[in-house]
Structure 1
Amino acid sequence: MNLKAIRLSQGLSVPKLVERSGVSRRTIQEIEKRGDCLVSNAIKLADALEVTLDELCRTKDEKAGE
């Protein structure tokens, strides 16, 4: 999960992402810590960050193995 890297590259704080996505602060923090989440939350976050689910969820290693 690339959530933290994308969020930071866009200069967004966790509270700002909460505001944009509707996903709770605690959930975002847990996703950044664990690296996985519900698909419904991933969709909300990808939309808020204006990235695809693939960009949000897949690592470079996973893409290379296709």
Structure 2
Amino acid sequence: MNLKQIRNQQNLSIRALSELSAVPIRTIEDIERFNRCKVDTAIKLADALNVTLDELCRDKVAE
């Protein structure tokens, strides 16, 4: 998951992302800590961050 990286690039706090996505703060903290989440939660976060699920969830592939 690239959640923390994308969130930081957009200068969003966990609280702000929680408000935008309707995902609880604790859930976002757990996702950033354990690097996994449910698909429906990932969709909410991707929508709130205005990125694709691919950008949010996939590891970057070396070019």
Normalised TM-score (structure 1)? 0.91
What is the total number of aligned residue pairs between the two structures?
A: 62
Give the drift of 1:16.
Answer: 0.2
Unaligned runs of 5+ residues in structure 1 are: none
Give the drift of 1:59.
Answer: 0.5
Percent of paired sites with the same residue: 61
Moved over 6 A (4+): none
Normalised TM-score (structure 2)? 0.95
- Structure in which a larger fraction of residues adopt helix: 1
Question: In the alignment, which residue of structure 2 is the partner of 1:53?
Answer: 53
CA shift digits 1:35-64 (9 cap, x unpaired): 010000000000000000000000114xx5
Unaligned runs of 5+ residues in structure 2 are: none
CA shift digits 1:5-26 (9 cap, x unpaired): 0000000000000000000000
Q: Secondary structure at the match of 1:60?
A: coil
